[in-house]
């Protein structure tokens, strides 16, 4: 025990040792980050090669000749423009609706007192544990009876509400002092005014986190569009990529180029909001 305490004291009082340990940790983290990026680097490299060069051995990470024409060919093989437009419409509308509905419900569960509030919240959050396959068929029947089958609005309606989003926003709202809301009520501000002028400006981190999760999940959704969208004019980019792979199964360079294009919108959204992401995750669970 005394030896361990003495060792810790030496490390604490030795700035050179601390710098060495910090350097080693940084080297390990950079190495792990570089390792996780290898598949993406290979995809970018393969998208700029000819098909016969993709699996050539030894592998060339940097192509001898950059074939930028691969990125123009993929738009001619299948209607990727239509697929991207449909996916962007669904992802943007669903993200906006989920942010609004989740923040509204979260404010009620966090800052309003009404009978059965906690029980209702637990029941609503409990739906997260129900697998989608359990209610997939009733949803399909409901969409068909409403006349929304094979329309983009079917995907919007099904994903406009999110129990996870309500949970995330509620946990963040609970970290905001209730005294701010009470003072605003004394000043004559309505509940909608409190939500718009106090809660939303203070919850940018949680909103950014919810936007990232919602946009990424909606953009990458495959099963939903596969079930509800049948006409080619309504298909999304993930279903379109599947068709592209089936029709060009031997053109791996074109498959890599199309896959890279499908990742760009998600990457842009994440890079724009990533500075709020860690803060939102860290603060959303402060109060239970």
Task: Mark whether 124 and 28 lie in a shared domain.
Answer: no
Q: Whole-angstrom Cα distance, residue 280 to residue 173?
A: 11
Residue 34 CB neighbour total at 10 angstroms: 10
| Alpha-carbon distance values, 195 to 5, 54, 104, 191, 199 (Å) | 52, 54, 8, 6, 5
Residue 288: what pLDDT? 43
Of the chain, the end-to-end C-alpha distance in Å amounts to 38
Q: Total domain count for the chain?
A: 2
Say yes or no: 242 and 139 in one domain: yes
To which residue do tokens 């006409």 refer? Answer: 231
- Residue 145 inside a domain? The answer is yes
Is 54 part of a structural domain of the chain?
Answer: no
Assess whether 41 and 142 both reside in one domain.
no
> Given this model, what pLDDT does residue 132 score?
85
Within this chain, do residues 42 and 119 fall inside the same structural domain, yes or no?
Answer: no
Range of the domain at 39: 2-47
Residue that is written with structure tokens 């989003």 in the block = 165
Q: What is the pLDDT along the chain (288 residues), one digit of tens a residue?
A: 555 555 555 455 577 888 888 899 999 999 998 898 888 888 888 888 887 887 877 878 888 888 888 888 888 888 889 999 999 999 999 999 999 999 999 999 988 888 888 899 999 988 888 888 888 888 889 889 988 898 999 999 999 998 999 998 998 898 888 888 888 888 888 888 888 888 888 888 889 889 999 999 999 999 889 989 888 899 999 988 888 888 877 788 888 888 888 888 988 888 888 777 666 555 544 444
Angle CA(59)–CA(65)–CA(70) in degrees, nearest 5? Answer: 95
Q: What is the pLDDT of residue 282?
A: 53
The string of DSSP letters for the chain reads -HHHHHHHHHHHH-HHHHHHHHHHHHHHHHHHHHHHHHHHHHHHHHHTS-HHHHT-SSPPSS-SS--TTHHHHHHHHS-HHHHHHHHHHHHHHHHHHHHHHHHHHHHHHHH---TTHHHHHHHHHHGGGS-HHHHHHHHHHHHHHTT-TTSHHHHHHHTS--HHHHHHHHHHHHTS-HHHHHHHHHTT--HHHHIIIIIHHHTHHHHHHHHHHHHHHHHT--HHHHHH--SGGG--HHHHHHHHHHHTTT-HHHHHHHHHHHHHHHHHHHHHHHHHHHHHHHHTTS--
Residue 44 token pair: 């970018």
Asked if residue 97 and residue 33 are part of one domain, the reply reads no
- Residues 43, 173 within the same domain: no
Of 168, 174, 159, nearest in space to 206 by CA: 168
**Domain-embedded: residue 207:** yes
Rounded distance between C-alpha atoms, residue 242 and residue 249, angstroms: 10
pTM: 0.82
Residues 80 and 222 in one domain: yes
pLDDT of residue 92: 95
Alpha carbon 50 to its chain centroid, in Å, reads 32
């Amino acid at each position: 025990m005394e030896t361990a305490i003495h060792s810790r004291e030496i490390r604490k009082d030795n700035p050179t040792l601390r710098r060495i340990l910090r350097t080693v940790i940084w080297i390990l983290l950079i190495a792990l980050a570089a390792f996780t990026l290898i598949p993406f680097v290979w995809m970018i490299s393969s998208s700029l090669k000819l098909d016969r060069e993709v699996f050539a051995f030894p592998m060339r990470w940097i192509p001898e000749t950059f074939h930028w024409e691969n990125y123009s060919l993929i738009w001619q093989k299948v209607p990727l423009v239509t697929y991207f437009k449909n996916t962007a419409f669904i992802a943007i509308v669903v993200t906006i609706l989920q942010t609004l509905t989740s923040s509204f419900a979260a404010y009620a569960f966090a800052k309003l007192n009404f009978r059965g509030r906690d029980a209702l919240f637990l029941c609503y959050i409990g739906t997260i544990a129900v697998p989608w396959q359990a209610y997939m068929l009733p949803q399909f029947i409901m969409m068909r009876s409403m006349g929304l089958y094979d329309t983009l609005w079917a995907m919007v309606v099904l994903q406009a509400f999110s129990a996870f989003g309500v949970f995330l926003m509620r946990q963040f709202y609970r970290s905001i002092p209730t005294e701010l809301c009470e003072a605003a009520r004394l000043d004559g501000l309505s509940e909608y005014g409190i939500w718009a002028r106090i809660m939303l400006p203070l919850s940018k981190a949680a909103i950014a986190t919810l936007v990232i999760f919602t946009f990424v999940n909606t953009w990458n959704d495959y099963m939903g569009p596969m079930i509800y969208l049948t006409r080619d004019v309504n298909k999304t980019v993930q279903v379109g990529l599947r068709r592209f792979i089936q029709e060009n199964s031997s053109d791996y360079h074109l498959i890599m180029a199309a896959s890279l294009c499908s990742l760009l919108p998600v990457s842009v959204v994440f890079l724009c909001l990533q500075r709020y992401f860690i803060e939102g995750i860290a603060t959303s669970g402060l109060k239970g």
